Amino acid sequence: MTPAATTLHTPHRVAHRQPTTEAPWVRRLLIGTALGFLSLFLFIPLVSVFVQAFAKGVGFYIHTIGDPMALSAIKLTFIAAGIAVPLNCVFGVCAAWTIAKFDFPGKNVLLTLIDLPFSVSPVISGLIYVLVFGAQGWLGLYMNADNPRLPWLANWLNDHNIKIIFAVPGIVLATIFVTFPFVARELIPLMQAQGRTEEEAARVLGASGWQTFWRVTLPNIKWGLLYGVILCNARAMGEFGAVSVVSGKIRGETNTIPLHIEALYDDYNFTGAFAVASLLAFLALVTLVLKTWVERKNAALNEI
Amino acid sequence: MLPGFKLTLGFTLFYLGLIVIIPLSAVFWKTSSLTWHDFWNTVTLPVAVASYRLTFGASFFAALVNAFFGFIVAWVLVRYDFFGKKLIDALVDLPFALPTAVAGITLASLYAKAGWIGRWLEPLGIKIANTELGVFVALTFIGLPFIVRTVQPVLEDLDPELEEAASSLGANRWQVFWRVILPMLSPALLTGFTLAFARALGEYGSVIFIAGNIPLKTQITPVVIMGELDMFDYAKATAIAVVMLVASFILLLGVNILQWWTNRHNTTNLA
């Protein structure tokens, strides 16, 4: 660089930095406002969950978590998430493959329909399954009909006393519904951006469809997939409204962790409620850490 | 040509139909068992109408407050450097990750008379727990990330040359903000606002604990639906649910149109 360029450079920098930033007092005011707002709505609530969880000591905490009712709720939550997450994961990969790799009419309609469960209130998400499988719903009417079509099916359902609402299957279905779009929504834009050239090259070189998927597509989408699974799981384990409609809230049988928290709270056992809630708050923190980590991995991948 | 089109499209449509379309259509099937007269009488019951007013009003103001503070948070996170910025950036998503029941009991305890925050408001005569304000507080909490996360990426991509050009033409910082920055961010701001509003409309878990359950006063629409369900009055619950569903679908359509319009707007700018 010539000396002339350096001398020209310095005043230029001063001249253009000044008008595109704010006075220090404005900056401090804005940072202060942001921190104040976030403290009120994020930090204080988060800290208070853990403080109140241990308000009666570690012994009470362990006692509450180790209670058979709490353990049964934890088990049921794991069952519901353990079924809903893998199913929605398979669906997400299928939907993303068909939408991102092929052209067909009605694609935008399909995209909107996949997003639909996000815009349905949790209470309504539960209600729709009551209308399908409840005693006054389609299944109930069918099982109690005088002349049902397929009498053997109606008999089989009655003989085996198939119960979906106010039982575990209803909880699983409601969980699947509310977490339906998570994986698909992460994968569709990602796979659309990646295009299909790499897969087509693999095919030309003689790879089978499955080989192409496992060796080319999956390594490309693994972080996006993990991201979707993390968000899907967090919502599956924490869902309250939808599950509360279909569960019937039988303690020790059809209560998930969030429903158990409500039950303890309604019993005025606030410390107990917060002890169990701290498990879910901890899960939320783990989710945020994983999410940040995956986002960094993704950013690093995009830079290469 | 890649394989698997029929298989994946087939499975996608089958699963979508089974889990989403058929159960959702049950709402309209159940409503059709009511006469138009009964339907109208149900959805205009005083409890229902009061709940619409509260749900829409509180959701609107919560989204508005979030639009203001969320914008400041996004601005601070993109433009300034300060201690703990990365941690705060990660924590903004907490309302997405924290289950609503946990948020609900936490806010209820904080804003109760003897709670960490409630005890400071009590002498001022401000009551939050068991009032409409409680609904507003809970909806503000759950809507917080939407504005930040829609404005943040747009702000990051904003070309500083435009601001430089404006200021070299004599605009002061305040004018640059109002005439250059804000117009470019307004589609993102509007999208974030609509998303936060739509999310707040259907919210249940975080609201019920802090709002109490006072008919005509603090009952949001999902609580009214829940009340009808507890009395096994499925027809009434479904009729009110239809009103909610139609409102959410209109909003969903609005968001889609808004995003489509933004995309078109941006491409014409580039051309």
Q: What is the pLDDT of residue A20?
A: 66
Alpha carbon A143 to its chain centroid, in Å, reads 34
> Are A132 and B93 within 8 A, CB to CB?
no
Q: Does B29 touch chain A (CB under 8 A)?
A: yes
Is pLDDT at A14 greater than 50 in this prediction? no
Is residue A16 situated within a structural domain? no
How does residue B265 score in pLDDT terms, banded at 50, 70 and 90? Answer: low
Name, in order, each residue with C-beta under 8 angstroms of A218's C-beta and a sequence gap of 6 or more.
A225
Is residue A13 situated within a structural domain? no
Are A191 and A69 part of one and the same domain?
Answer: yes
How does residue A297 score in pLDDT terms, banded at 50, 70 and 90? Answer: confident
Are A46 and A171 part of one and the same domain?
Answer: no
B110 to chain A: nearest residue by CA? A45
Are A30 and A92 part of one and the same domain?
Answer: no
Q: What is the pLDDT of residue A304?
A: 60
Q: How far apart are CA A297 and CA A285, in angstroms?
A: 18
Is residue A12 situated within a structural domain? no
Q: Does A16 touch chain B (CB under 8 A)?
A: yes
Is pLDDT at A199 greater than 60 in this prediction? yes
Spatial CA neighbour of A171 closest among A88, A92, A78 = A78
Average pLDDT over residues A147-157: 83
Q: What is the pLDDT of residue A300?
A: 80
Q: What is the pLDDT of residue B33?
A: 86
Q: What is the pLDDT of residue B50?
A: 96
Lowest mean pLDDT among A65-69, A292-296, B239-243: A292-296
> Are A120 and B30 within 8 A, CB to CB?
no
Q: What is the pLDDT of residue A5?
A: 43
Q: What is the pLDDT of residue A162?
A: 82
Are A254 and A220 part of one and the same domain?
Answer: yes
Spatial CA neighbour of B94 closest among A293, A51, A41 = A41
Contacts within 8 Å (CB) and 24+ apart, A139-142: A139/A164
Are A107 and A211 part of one and the same domain?
Answer: yes
Alpha carbon A287 to its chain centroid, in Å, reads 10
Average pLDDT over residues B52-69: 97
Are A209 and A69 part of one and the same domain?
Answer: yes
Average pLDDT along chain B: 91
pLDDT digits (tens, 9 = 90+) for B231-258: 989 999 999 999 999 999 898 888 888 8
Q: What is the pLDDT of residue A12?
A: 45
Task: Using the structure block, give the residue that is written with the tokens 């509450």.
Answer: A64
Question: Among residues 236-275 of chain A, which lie with CB inside 8 Å of chain B?
Answer: 237-241, 244-245, 257-259, 261-262, 265, 270, 273-274
Are A196 and A114 part of one and the same domain?
Answer: yes
Residues of B in contact with A138 (CB under 8 A): 26
Is residue A11 situated within a structural domain? no
Name, in order, each residue with C-beta under 8 angstroms of A95's C-beta and a sequence gap of 6 or more.
A110, A114, A184, A187, A188, B8, B12
**CATH code of residue A157:** 1.10.3720.10
Is pLDDT at A8 greater than 50 in this prediction? no
Is residue A9 situated within a structural domain? no
Is residue A2 situated within a structural domain? no
Q: What is the pLDDT of residue B171?
A: 85
Is pLDDT at A9 greater than 60 in this prediction? no
The structural domain count of chain A equals: 2
Write out the residue range of the structural domain in which residue A103 sits.
Answer: 57-303
Lowest mean pLDDT among A20-24, A67-71, B65-69: A20-24
Q: Does B144 touch chain A (CB under 8 A)?
A: yes
A vs B: CB pairs below 8 A: 272
Is residue A158 situated within a structural domain? yes
How does residue B264 score in pLDDT terms, banded at 50, 70 and 90? Answer: confident
pLDDT digits (tens, 9 = 90+) for B14-57: 999 999 999 999 998 889 888 999 999 999 999 999 999 999 99
The angle at the Cα of B167, spanning B163 to B168, to the nearest 5 degrees, equals: 115
> Are B106 and A180 within 8 A, CB to CB?
no
Amino acid at A262: E
CB atoms under 10 Å from CB of A104, counted, come to 10
Residues of A in contact with B56 (CB under 8 A): none
Is pLDDT at A122 greater than 70 in this prediction? yes
pLDDT digits (tens, 9 = 90+) for B192-224: 999 999 999 999 999 999 998 888 999 999 999
Q: What is the pLDDT of residue B213?
A: 87
Q: What is the pLDDT of residue A153?
A: 85
The domains found in chain B, sorted by start residue, are 36-263 (1.10.3720.10)
Alpha carbon A149 to its chain centroid, in Å, reads 39
Is residue A211 situated within a structural domain? yes
Are A193 and A48 part of one and the same domain?
Answer: no
Q: Which residue has the higher pLDDT, A262 or A13?
A: A262
Average pLDDT over residues A78-96: 97
Among A31, A90, A109, A166, most B C-beta atoms within 10 A, so best to mutate, is A31
End-of-domain residue from the set A32, A53, A74: A53
Give B57-78 as a DSSP string: HHHHHHHHHHHHHHHHHHHHHH
Are A102 and A232 part of one and the same domain?
Answer: yes
Average pLDDT along chain A: 89
Q: How far is CA B6 from CA A108, A110, B14, B50, in A?
A: 18, 15, 12, 49
- To the nearest whole angstrom, how far is the Cα of A136 from the nearest Cα of chain B? 8
Q: What is the pLDDT of residue A1?
A: 40
Q: What is the pLDDT of residue B167?
A: 87
Q: What is the pLDDT of residue B262?
A: 75
Lowest mean pLDDT among A12-16, A28-32, A111-115, B107-111: A12-16
> Are A117 and B11 within 8 A, CB to CB?
no
Q: Which residue has the higher pLDDT, B25 or A17?
A: B25
Phi, psi at A48, each rounded to 5°: -65, -30
Minimal Cβ distance to A113: which of B20, B88, B98: B20
> Are A52 and B141 within 8 A, CB to CB?
no
pLDDT digits (tens, 9 = 90+) for B148-191: 999 999 999 988 888 888 888 988 888 889 988 999 899 899 99
Is pLDDT at B266 greater than 70 in this prediction? no
Q: Does B257 touch chain A (CB under 8 A)?
A: no
In A67-145, which residue ranges form alpha helices assigned H by DSSP? Answer: 68-101, 107-115, 122-133, 138-144
Q: Does B181 touch chain A (CB under 8 A)?
A: no
Question: Among residues 153-172 of chain A, which lie with CB inside 8 Å of chain B?
Answer: none
Are A140 and A283 part of one and the same domain?
Answer: yes
| The overall pTM is greater than 0.80 | yes
Q: What is the pLDDT of residue B267?
A: 57
pLDDT digits (tens, 9 = 90+) for B174-185: 888 998 899 989
Is pLDDT at A16 greater than 60 in this prediction? no
Are A141 and A284 part of one and the same domain?
Answer: yes
Phi, psi at B220, each rounded to 5°: -80, 165
Q: What is the pLDDT of residue B260?
A: 80
Are A176 and A45 part of one and the same domain?
Answer: no
- To the nearest whole angstrom, how far is the Cα of B211 from the nearest Cα of chain A? 14
Residues of B in contact with A180 (CB under 8 A): 19-20
Is pLDDT at A254 greater than 80 in this prediction? yes
